């Protein structure tokens, strides 16, 4: 599970003062607990490293989930889809 940011690039700050990384980590922890409760092995990646390093960390995974909330005006779902497509292209290049 890739949290979508790392502490060196924590993302935008919400109106409530929460950095994207903190929101993403909390969400990822919830998803991780739920998946593990269902018997799925989950490895967290990304909260300490760059995008290129995260794609290397994901090598060998059967499935990679990216939990990346996008804060800020003018972003939202369209930006999240574009970002996911960019990440996939990079992952395919590195793999």
Q: For residue 92, what pLDDT is reported?
A: 55
40 closest CA partner among 4, 65, 67: 65
Chain segment 39-68, per-residue pLDDT in tens: 888 888 876 677 778 778 788 878 777 766
Q: For residue 50, what pLDDT is reported?
A: 73
What is the DSSP code string of 17-52?
Answer: S-BHHHHHHHHHHHHHHHHHHTT-----B-SSS-HH
Q: Is the pLDDT of residue 75 over 60?
A: no
Backbone angles phi, psi at 46, to 5 degrees: 100, -20
Q: For residue 52, what pLDDT is reported?
A: 76
**Separation between Cα atoms, residue 34 and residue 16, nearest integer Å:** 26
């Amino acid at each position: 599970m890739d949290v979508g940011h790392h502490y060196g690039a924590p993302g935008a700050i919400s109106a409530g003062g929460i950095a994207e990384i903190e929101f993403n980590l909390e969400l990822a922890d919830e998803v991780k607990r739920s998946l593990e409760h269902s018997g799925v092995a989950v490895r967290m990646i990304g909260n300490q490293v760059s995008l290129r390093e995260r794609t290397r960390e994901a090598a060998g995974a059967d499935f990679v989930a990216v939990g990346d909330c996008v804060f800020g005006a003018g972003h939202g779902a369209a930006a999240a889809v574009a970002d996911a497509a960019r990440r996939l292209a990079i992952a395919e290049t590195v793999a």
